């Protein structure tokens, strides 16, 4: 079976409001239009994979159980809106740890590709920080930076990275997701 493209999404600032080390499931707030976008992608039978750095675990700010409860709430909130994630991959390490899974490192993306038969060169990578979308450059995929915190700034975009105001706007940049391809 041929490998298929996927949509890789960052969590905080892309799918849910960025609460800075979110450990309380009650803090999960789906961003405007995010569930609808994910549901539309689901309808096209394109895998939606969440890849998130959660250094709060590695820093000792919250536990893996706290993280699991937040992820469960996210899954429930999306399901209530008719959307689903096909997989979730988490880097729990702090920025000082040496690992191959903390974005922009390729570890979690390569693992998802192996486990779900995904073609990274035909995939879309969407996030609110440069590190979320840089992996697209390595594989020739499509990277789209959403406004989010604008911490990285639109002016500093590497060549080949697109910019959108939010997840619904990002989807419109990718014709095959919007239904024209």
Q: How far is 64 from 57, CA to CA, in rounded Å?
A: 6
Determine the distance from the C-alpha atom of residue 95 to the mean position of all C-alpha atoms in its chain, rounded to a whole number. Answer: 18
Q: Measure the CA–CA gap between 161 and 153, rounded to whole angstroms.
A: 12
Active site residue 76: no
**Is 12 an active-site residue?**
yes
Indicate which residues carry an active-site annotation.
10, 12
């Amino acid at each position: 079976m041929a490998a298929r493209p996927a949509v890789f999404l960052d969590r905080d600032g892309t799918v849910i409001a960025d609460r800075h080390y979110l450990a309380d499931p009650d803090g999960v707030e789906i961003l405007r239009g995010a569930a609808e976008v994910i549901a539309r992608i689901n309808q096209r039978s394109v895998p939606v994979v969440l890849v998130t750095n959660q250094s709060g675990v590695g820093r000792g700010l919250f536990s893996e159980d706290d993280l699991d409860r937040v992820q469960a709430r996210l899954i429930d909130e999306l399901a209530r809106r008719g959307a689903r994630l096909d997989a979730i991959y988490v880097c729990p390490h702090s920025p000082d740890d040496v690992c191959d899974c903390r974005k922009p490192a390729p570890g979690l993306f390569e693992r998802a590709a192996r486990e779900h038969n995904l073609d990274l060169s035909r995939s879309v990578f969407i996030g609110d920080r440069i590190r979320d979308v840089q992996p697209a450059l390595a594989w020739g995929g499509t990277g789209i930076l959403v406004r989010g915190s604008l911490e990285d700034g639109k002016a500093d975009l590497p060549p080949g990275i697109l910019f959108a105001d939010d997840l619904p706007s990002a989807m419109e940049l990718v014709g095959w997701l919007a239904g024209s391809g």
